[in-house]
Amino acid sequence: MTALVPLIVCLPLLGAALALMFGQRRRLQVIVSVLSLAAATVMSAVLLVFVDRLGPAVVQVGGWDAPWGIVLVVDRLSAIMLLISALMLLGVLLFAVGQGIVDGDSEAPVSIFHPTYLVLAAGLFNAFVAGDLFTMYVGFEMLLSASYVLLTLGGTGARIRVGITYIVVSLVSSLLFLSAIALIYGATGTVTLALIAERMPDLPADIQLILGLLLLIAFGVKAAVFPMSFWLPDSYPTAPAPVTAVFAGLLTKVGVYAILRTQTLFFPDHQFSIPLMIVAALTMLVGILGALAQADIKRLLSFTLISHIGYMLFGIAIGTPLAIAATIFYVVHHITIQTTLFLATGLIDRVGGTTSLSRLGGLLKASPLVAILFFLGALNLGGIPPFSGFLGKIALFQAGTIVGEPIMYVLIAVGALTSLLTLYALARAWNLAFWRPQKQVENYTSPLSDSLLEDPQDAGLVTTKTVSPLMVGTTASMLVFTLGLTIFAGPIFDLTHRAADNISSPSTYIDAVFPKGTGSIADSNVGTNFERGAR
C-alpha cells in the first residue's frame, strides 16, 4: 500500500512524458492523460481508505531513513487533499477535451497542454505527500512552472502581460520560501517536517516568530491572502476557461494546505492566532468588496475566491480540532464549488459570447441547463442552507463560539456579512445574465449595474461558440459531486474530524515518521547544526 505514495507522483510525470511523445497523435495523447489522471484518482481513493483505517503511510525514499533521506508522508489530511484534487483535475481535463473536440483543433501539430497539465498534477500531488519542507518546495516549483506555461498558453499580448506579473510574484514567494527553508535548517538542523516540529518549540521565541512569519508570508502569497492577493484577479481570468478553473480550485488551496500543515505542526501553541484572524477578516472583506464592483463574471469569481480564503484562515487561526475539521471540510467544499463555477462560467462564455454582465442577457432562455448549473453553484458558494457551503461556514462559526473570545465574534460577524455579500454579487450576476431578456441589454440602466467596472482586458466583443455534450456533462457531474458533499456531509465531516485529530497534536505525525523515536538522531553529528552549535 505504501508503494502507492511515490507512484501517485511518478504516474502523472510518466503520463506527461508519454503525452509529449504523442504530441502529433492527439487522440492517443488524450487517452494517455485521461488514463493517468483516472489512475491517480483511483490510487488516492485507495490511499484514503487505507490511511483512514491503518494510520499514516510513510515512505523513506531510496531506503534512507528520515531525516537523512527524503520522506513522503500521507496522513488523512494529505489523502483527502490528494483525492479531491485528483478528482477535480480529471473533471477539468475532460472539460478541456470536450472543448478541444468542439473547437476542432484535432489537427494541431504540437500540443503542449496535456503534458503541462500532467506536470501540474504531479507537482500538486508532490506538495501534498511531501514529508519535508524541501520536497514541498520542489512540488511547489513543479506546479508553478507548469502554471506559468498554462497561463501564457498561446502567447497573446494580454496573457504575456498578466503572465509576467504572476510569474514575478510567484518567484518572489518561492524565494521567500527557500530563504525560510534555509533559516529553518540553520536553526533546527533539518528540513524534515516531523523533526522540525519536535525541535521548533525549543527555539527562542523571537526566532520562532521570524521563521513562522517568513513561512506565513511565503505561503500567504500563494494562497492569495490579503494584502498579498492583488495579483490573483488580474491573472487568473485571462487564461483559458479550464485552466482558470483548475488554478482557482487548486493552486490557492496548496497555499492553504501548506499554512495548515506548518501551523499545526510547528506552532501547536497558536502563536500566530491573532495576526491570522486579522488578515482573515481583511481577506474576507476586501475580497468581497472587490467582487461587488466587477462586471466580468470571471473577475467577480476570482474576487470571491480571495474572500473565501479568509474563512479557511479563520479556521486555522482558531486551531481547535473542531475548527481544523471545519477548515478541511471547507477547503474540500471550496475546491469543488469554485472549480465547478469557473467551468460553468466557461460555458456562459461560449453560450452568451462574453462574460461581461453588461452585455449578457437572456441566458435562461438560451440555455436552461447552463442556468441551472450556475444557479445551484452560486447558491452553494453563497452559503444558502442546506448546501455544503452553509454547513462548512456553520461548523466554522460553531468552532469560533465554543472558544468564545470577543475577536471570534467579530470574525463570525465578518464571515456572515461576507457570505451575504457573496450572495448579493452572485444574485446580481444571475439577474443580469439570466433573467434579463436579451433585447433589454442595449441601453439598460439599473441601480444594480451602475457601479460595475469592466475588465480592463475586455475588448467588448460578443462571440458565441458551440458547447459540446462532454463539457456540459462534466460540469453537471461536478455539480452533482458538490451536491453529494451536501448529502453525505455527515460521514465526510466525520472523516475530516478524524483528520483534524491526526494533525491537531504534532506527536501523531512525529510518531508516524519516527516510530523508534527521535532520540538517536539528536546524538548524531552530520546535518545537525543545532547540536553542533550547542556543543
Partner 1 sequence: MSASLTLVIVMAVMYAAGVYVMLERSLTRVLIGFLLVGNATNLLIFIMSGRPGVSPIVTGASGQDMVDPVPQVLMLTAIVINFGITALLLALIYRSWWLAQLGDEGDTLTDENTTESAEEADDAFRSSSDDDDAIAESIDEFERGDGATSDEDTAATARAASRDAASRAAASARAAEGGSQK
Residue 34 or 410: the one with the smaller Cβ distance to partner 1 is 34
Under rule CB under 8 A, residue 104 binds partner 1: yes
Site for partner 1 in 414-433 (CB under 8 A): none
Of positions 27, 54, 62, 157, contacts partner 1 by CB under 8 A = 157
Total binding residues toward partner 1, as defined by CB under 8 A? 53
Rounded-to-integer distance, Cα 266 and Cα 194, Å = 9
How far apart are CB 358 and partner 1 at their closest, in Å?
21
How far apart are CB 463 and partner 1 at their closest, in Å?
9
CA nearest to 34, candidates 118, 133, 138, 131: 118
The region of 39-47, 157-165, 283-291, 325-333 touching partner 1 under the rule CB under 8 A is 157-165
Under rule CB under 8 A, residue 247 binds partner 1: no
Under rule CB under 8 A, residue 65 binds partner 1: no
Residue 110 or 205: the one with the smaller Cβ distance to partner 1 is 110
Of positions 27, 53, 54, 107, contacts partner 1 by CB under 8 A = 107
Under rule CB under 8 A, residue 349 binds partner 1: no
Residue 442 or 523: the one with the smaller Cβ distance to partner 1 is 523
Under rule CB under 8 A, residue 166 binds partner 1: no
Under rule CB under 8 A, residue 54 binds partner 1: no
How far apart are CB 207 and partner 1 at their closest, in Å?
12
CA nearest to 528, candidates 191, 43, 84: 191
Return the SS3 of 271: coil
Residue 112 or 448: the one with the smaller Cβ distance to partner 1 is 112
C-alpha distances (whole Å) from 468 to each of 31, 91, 195, 402 are 18, 15, 51, 49
Cell numbers of 171, please? 518567484
Of positions 183, 217, 410, 448, contacts partner 1 by CB under 8 A = 183
Rounded-to-integer distance, Cα 505 and Cα 95, Å = 40
Rounded-to-integer distance, Cα 149 and Cα 118, Å = 12
Under rule CB under 8 A, residue 103 binds partner 1: yes
The region of 143-151, 295-303, 423-431, 511-519 touching partner 1 under the rule CB under 8 A is 143-151
Burial class for 250, CB neighbours closer than 10 Å (0-12, 13-18, 19+): buried
Return the SS3 of 59: strand
Rounded-to-integer distance, Cα 478 and Cα 481, Å = 5
Which run of H or E residues covers position 354? none
CA nearest to 316, candidates 249, 409, 399: 399
Burial class for 423, CB neighbours closer than 10 Å (0-12, 13-18, 19+): middle
The region of 164-172, 298-306, 484-492, 513-521 touching partner 1 under the rule CB under 8 A is 164-172
Under rule CB under 8 A, residue 462 binds partner 1: no
Under rule CB under 8 A, residue 523 binds partner 1: no
How far apart are CB 360 and partner 1 at their closest, in Å?
20
Cell numbers of 301, please? 469569481
Under rule CB under 8 A, residue 529 binds partner 1: yes
The region of 9-17, 171-179, 335-343, 437-445 touching partner 1 under the rule CB under 8 A is 171-179
Give 450-492 as a 3 state SS string.
CCCECCCCCCCCCCCCCCCHHHHHHHHHHHHHHHHHHHCHHHH
- Beta-bridge partner residues of 403: none
Under rule CB under 8 A, residue 149 binds partner 1: yes
Rounded-to-integer distance, Cα 529 and Cα 94, Å = 49
Using CA atoms of 367, 372, 375, 376 in order, give the dihedral in degrees to the nearest 10: -160
Under rule CB under 8 A, residue 532 binds partner 1: yes
Of positions 56, 98, 100, 392, contacts partner 1 by CB under 8 A = 100
Under rule CB under 8 A, residue 522 binds partner 1: no
The region of 271-279, 383-391, 505-513, 524-532 touching partner 1 under the rule CB under 8 A is 524-532
Residue 97 or 223: the one with the smaller Cβ distance to partner 1 is 97
Q: What angle do CA 30, 35, 40 make, to 5 degrees?
A: 130
How far apart are CB 148 and partner 1 at their closest, in Å?
6
Under rule CB under 8 A, residue 101 binds partner 1: no
Q: Residue 310, CB half-sphere, CA atoms under 13 Å: how many?
A: 32
Under rule CB under 8 A, residue 230 binds partner 1: no
Which residues, 6 or more positions from 298, have their beta carbon under 8 angstroms from its beta carbon?
236, 237, 244, 342, 345, 349, 355, 455
Beta strands in 278-334 (DSSP E): none
Residue 171 or 522: the one with the smaller Cβ distance to partner 1 is 171
Per-residue contact string for residues 295-334; x = within reach of partner 1 by CB under 8 A: ----------------------------------------
Residue 9 or 96: the one with the smaller Cβ distance to partner 1 is 96
Task: Summarize as ranges the residues that interact with partner 1 (CB under 8 A).
Answer: 96, 100, 103-105, 107-114, 134, 138, 141, 145, 148-149, 152-161, 163-164, 167-168, 171-172, 175, 178-179, 181-183, 185-186, 191, 240, 459, 525-527, 529-530, 532-533
